[in-house]
Amino acid sequence: DTGVSQDPRHKITKRGQNVTFRCDPISEHNRLYWYRQTLGQGPEFLTYFQNEAQLEKSRLLSDRFSAERPKGSFSTLEIQRTEQGDSAMYLCASSLGQTNEQFFGPGTRLTVL
């Protein structure tokens, strides 16, 4: 399968714990995006990378959130000191160059107890 993959698919954690999610984009896609989707809502933009550079960050991305894309391929999203309000589906998407068509992964569903 050559689509966007995300790991894990589901994560249940206790409040205050740290979690890390991984996204593997479509090979050779230079842009990578993170979105968050809460129940019954549309996805909301969190951040995006062009190659290894993080070029945009939403105000939704508090200082407890950090994202990296060290080699311009896979990306990680870490949430420190999780809160119940962080419970959501975290979506990753990738695109190639200047095209505006983004391809989405299946998402990681986070539940904070």
User: Which residues of the shown chain bind another protein in the complex (CB under 8 A)?
Assistant: 4, 31, 33, 35, 40-45, 48, 55-56, 58, 91, 93, 100-107
Q: Nearest distance from residue 100's CB to another protein, in Å? A: 4
Going through 25-102 in order, the beta strands assigned E by DSSP cover 31-37, 44-50, 53-57, 65-68, 75-79, 88-95
Residue 43 is classified by DSSP as -
Nearer to another protein, 40 or 85 (CB): 40
Q: Nearest distance from residue 16's CB to another protein, in Å? A: 29
Nearer to another protein, 84 or 100 (CB): 100
Cα three-residue angle 71-60-27, rounded to 5 degrees: 25
Contacts of 88 (CB under 8 A, 6+ apart): 36, 37, 38, 39, 109, 110
Q: Nearest distance from residue 31's CB to another protein, in Å? A: 7
Q: Nearest distance from residue 60's CB to another protein, in Å? A: 11
Nearer to another protein, 45 or 74 (CB): 45
CB 39, CB 16: distance < 8 Å: no
